[in-house]
Amino acid sequence: MLIKSAAASSYDPAEKGRSSAAPLRERGVKVELGRRYRFAASHRLHTPRLSEEENRRVFGKCNNPFGHGHNYVLEIRLSGDIDESTGMIANLSDLDAFVEREVIEAMDCKSLNEDVAAFNDTVPTTENLCVEIYKRLKKFPGARLERVRIQETSNNSFEYAGE
């Protein structure tokens, strides 16, 4: 998969489709790129569909009306052909800029309940956060998003790879 910027460069465009990963793929071996990002955000687990008492019972400490925060670690995995010209599945600066715009700017040092529209009516559990971030990053044009994994604490992590 060619990055857009390289397609406009001076090397032979006939090589566009060639991938140095092809022989490996023919042998059933897949290459993926993994990248981790960090952001801090607050959330409160609460749903108006349950009574106050039920919310407290279901969500426990996480139902505290003032919310609480986590240092989230987001791990994403991407696949695609290794571009012969750049040696990359995805250009890291393009990827970083995309994730910065779609996730970090939108969520870092924010209240997920209040500041992220998707969580106005949906409980911002980390399961739901995985799905939301997957939807946002699936649009990355440079490679195929395989899965999203979010570590909420060193003991909790959640993973989503699409439907």
Instruction: Specify whether the CB–CB gap between 16 and 2 falls below 8 A.
Output: yes
The tally of CA atoms less than 13 A away on the side-chain side of residue 113 is 17
Among 48, 53, 65, 87, binds another protein (CB under 8 A): 87
Q: Rounded to whole angstroms, how far apart are CA atoms 62 and 126?
A: 12
Stretch that binds another protein, among 60-68, 89-97, 115-123, 130-138 (CB under 8 A): 89-97
Instruction: Specify whether the CB–CB gap between 33 and 78 falls below 8 A.
Output: yes
Regarding 9 and contact with another protein (CB under 8 A), the answer is yes
Residue type, 134: Y
Q: Rounded to whole angstroms, how far apart are CA atoms 4 and 9?
A: 9
Regarding 101 and contact with another protein (CB under 8 A), the answer is no
By beta-carbon proximity to another protein, the closer residue of 42 and 86 is: 86
By beta-carbon proximity to another protein, the closer residue of 37 and 134 is: 37
Among 45, 82, 130, 145, binds another protein (CB under 8 A): 82
Regarding 29 and contact with another protein (CB under 8 A), the answer is yes
Q: Given the DSSP bridges, would you call strands 144-153 and 110-111 parallel, antiparallel or unpaired?
A: unpaired
Contacts with another protein by CB under 8 A lie at 3, 5-6, 9-12, 20-21, 24, 28-37, 77, 82, 85-89, 91-93
